[in-house]
């Protein structure tokens, strides 16, 4: 039976790591950085640009998308990346079992019966500590980094899906990675997906 698992996550919660671990345990592909590469190919934009623009709003203001430059077709670069992202994610889901991290995949695949949508979260303290350990110190204080990244993800999700990012009713399973730990969180998702018997 085909399994598609989408992993949405708060910044610093370990969702990306959990997604990769789930994919390893199930023996299926995980699309995170590979997804960015595919969207870049489809859209013609650079990977670094797609990495930022395909998941984060260009600012934290409520009307940030209203001020984007648009071409004669009425589309902004963000819109064009969205359409490429949608096409790539739908095609990957058709190909077979996989884990897809972020990029509104839960919304894009919400009508598929073979899709398990997961949201990974944790306390701000846990996430702040984790991003310093994972990504190193920067000039921006960790709590501020968390707040900004989550706000940009929320605005991006709202603009393209008209849904609330992180709203539990959008997901089948919500996982507290601080309480459960990365390994246990992955095991729970694998079990919820029906185990590793294809």
When pLDDT is averaged across residues 64-80 and rounded to a whole number, the result is 65
DSSP state of 40: H
pLDDT of residue 69: 55
pTM, full prediction: 0.86
**In terms of Cα–Cα distance, which of 91, 100, 89, 95 is closest to 7?**
100
* Lowest mean per-residue pLDDT among 134-138, 141-145, 175-179: 134-138
pLDDT, one tens digit per residue, over 22-53 is: 999 999 999 988 888 888 888 888 888 888 77
Residue boundaries of the structural domains of the chain: 4-191
Give SS3 for 117.
strand
pLDDT of residue 81: 87
At the topology level of CATH, where does 4-191 sit? Rossmann fold (3.40.50)
Q: How many residues in the chain?
A: 198
């Amino acid at each position: 039976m085909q399994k598609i698992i989408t992993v949405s996550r708060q910044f610093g919660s370990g969702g990306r790591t959990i997604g990769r671990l789930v994919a390893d345990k199930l023996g299926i592909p995980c699309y995170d950085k590979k997804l960015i590469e595919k969207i870049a190919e489809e859209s013609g934009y650079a990977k670094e640009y797609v990495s930022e623009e395909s998941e984060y709003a260009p600012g934290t203001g409520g009307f940030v998308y209203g001020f984007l430059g648009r071409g004669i077709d009425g589309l902004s670069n963000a819109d064009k990346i969205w359409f490429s992202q949608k096409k790539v994610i739908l095609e990957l889901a058709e190909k077979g079992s996989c884990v897809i991290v972020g990029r509104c995949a839960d919304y894009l695949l919400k009508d598929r019966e073979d899709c398990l949508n997961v949201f990974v979260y944790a306390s701000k303290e846990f996430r702040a500590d984790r991003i310093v350990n994972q990504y190193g110190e920067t000039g921006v204080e960790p709590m501020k980094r968390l707040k900004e990244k989550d706000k940009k993800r929320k605005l991006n999700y709202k603009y393209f899906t008209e849904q609330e990012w992180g709203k539990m009713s959008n997901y089948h399973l919500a996982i507290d990675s601080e309480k459960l730990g990365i390994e246990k969180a992955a095991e729970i998702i694998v079990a919820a997906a029906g185990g590793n018997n294809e």
